[in-house]
Amino acid sequence: MVHATLEQARLVADLFIGRSSDYALQLSTGRYRRVGLPISLEVVREHLRGSCTLGTYLLDEHSACCFAVFDADQPDGLAVLAAVRRRLAADGIPSYLEASRRGGHLWVFFEAPAPAWAARRWLLPYCPAGVEFYPKQDESAAVGSLIRVPLGIHRRSGQRYPFVVWQRGQFVPVAADLAGMLSALKAVRRVAVSPALLPAGPTSDEQTTPPTSQALRHLATPAGYPPHPTIADWCAEQDPFALIGRYVHLDSRGMGHCPFGEHHVGGRDTHASFQVFRPKRPGGTCWRCYTGNISGDVFNFLQLYSGMDTGKLWTRLRRGEVL
């Protein structure tokens, strides 16, 4: 068993633990079991030692997050994420590449907790097709999505996956052992999620949809397109029951069978675990799959349903095309 100090556990907790009031443990199948208790430094220490493997929920009790993650579960995942990393770096956003069982994770750390909806509107335009982005929800009444905490031992593969860099034509670990990896992570740079980068956040349930963000200006209205300045504005104009009802048969309570089969045993939702509801703020979260524990706004729904990246879907919607 690897030795791990409380100081090392504190570093990992500071970087990689989202919600401190709850966490999950990875099972031998690779799935996770929610614990329902606050996390402690001793539990993080056991994660580093290899006696358990943690999953962390990105959203805190106020639907804010202190990091975001791009997740590429594909054979060339590291290469795909390395390209994302270069795009982020060109815009002054530091990120850190971690190998995973099926590909890789790319981490972006914030100087202070940011509203999940703001982080998504800022960073989603960098996310290519086929790559998952965390947090998956703009806001959540529950714990929301989770991701594996780095540098533990994956319970299914038995491997401890390193952070990597590109050197001499290949991806290599940033250090030869766990202690070296943790030492290297002390130099992590956090990005300031500032008003210059993000739309102004809502201060109450009555506040309206935020204005255009710096990160979405490249999606501005092309000549001849209808006047929807931002994705958020477009979402705020939609009736979620009418739009999502085109693709999912909903009952009087807004319940229906989830169309995203990958989140269900056998690839099919047999218990009508999907619900549409009125968002707390215009254009906000308006649907949830209770089995897959995923939720989002109408644009997120169409992205998942169509498999399109942000830019392509937005262009089609601006043209008035029906999916």
Instruction: Tell me whether residue 205 is exposed, middle or buried, using C-beta atoms within 10 angstroms of its C-beta: 0 to 12, 13 to 18, 19 or more.
Output: exposed
Domain boundary among 185, 200, 229: 185
Is the confidence at residue 160, as pLDDT, over 90? yes
Picking from 142, 167, 185, the residue at the C-terminal end of a domain is 185
| 252's tokens | 């009087």
With CA atoms as reference, report the closest residue to 299 among 69, 68, 125.
125
The verdict on 49 and 131 lying in the same domain is yes
91 has pLDDT over 80: yes
What pLDDT does 1 receive?
64
Distance CA 267, CA 293 (A): 15
Query: Do 171 and 220 belong together in one domain?
Result: no
> What confidence category does residue 199 fall into, taking pLDDT thresholds of 50, 70 and 90?
very low
- Specify the number of domains making up the chain: 2
> What backbone phi and psi angles, to 5 degrees, belong to 146?
-130, 165
Query: Does residue 40 sit within a domain?
Result: yes
Cα-Cα end-to-end distance for the chain: 53
The angle, 0 to 180 degrees and rounded to 10, between the axes of the packed helices 178-185 and 6-16 is 50
Q: Between the CA of residue 235 and those of 87, 137, 310, what are the distances in Å?
A: 27, 14, 13
Strands (E) located in the chain: 24-26, 32-34, 54-57, 64-72, 96-99, 104-115, 132-134, 146-148, 164-167, 170-173, 255-256, 274-276, 287-289, 294-296
What rounded mean pLDDT belongs to the chain? 85
Residue 89 CA to residue 215 CA, distance in Å, equals 14
Shared domain for 133 and 62, answered yes or no, is yes
Indicate whether 13 and 144 sit together in one domain: yes
**What is the CATH number for 120?**
3.90.920.20
| 287, 318 contact by CB (below 8 A) | no
Cβ of 157: how many Cβ atoms within 10 Å? 12
pLDDT of 104 over the 60 cut = yes
> pLDDT value at position 321?
66
Q: Which of 223-227, 265-269, 276-280 has the highest mean pLDDT?
A: 276-280
In a domain, 168, yes or no: yes
Same domain, 171 and 274: no
Is 80 exceeded by the pLDDT of residue 92?
yes
Domain that holds residue 54: 6-185
- Mark whether 24 and 94 lie in a shared domain: yes
Q: Are residues 34 and 135 in the same domain?
A: yes
Q: Do residue 139 and residue 247 come from a single domain?
A: no
Predicted local distance difference test score (pLDDT) of residue 228: 47
Read off the pLDDT band of 213 (50, 70, 90). very low
Residue 201 is assigned to a structural domain of this protein: no
In a domain, 194, yes or no: no
Is there a domain that residue 255 lies in?
yes
The reply to whether 249 falls in a domain is yes
* pLDDT over 90 at 225, yes or no: no
Query: Percentage of the chain with pLDDT > 90?
Result: 56
Choose one of 164, 185, 206: the last residue of a domain. Answer: 185
**314/231 Cα distance (integer angstroms):** 7
Residue 196: inside a domain: no
Report pLDDT digits (tens) over 109-145: 999 899 898 898 899 989 998 999 999 988 877 888 9
Q: Are residue 20 and residue 100 in the same domain, yes or no?
A: yes
Do residues 152 and 272 share a domain?
no
Asked if residue 264 and residue 218 are part of one domain, the reply reads yes
**Please, which pLDDT band fits residue 49 given cuts at 50, 70 and 90?**
very high
Cα–Cα distance for residue pair 133/70, rounded to 1 Å: 5
- Looking at the fold, whether 75 and 224 belong to one and the same domain comes out as no
pTM above 0.95, yes or no: no
Q: Is residue 138 part of a domain?
A: yes
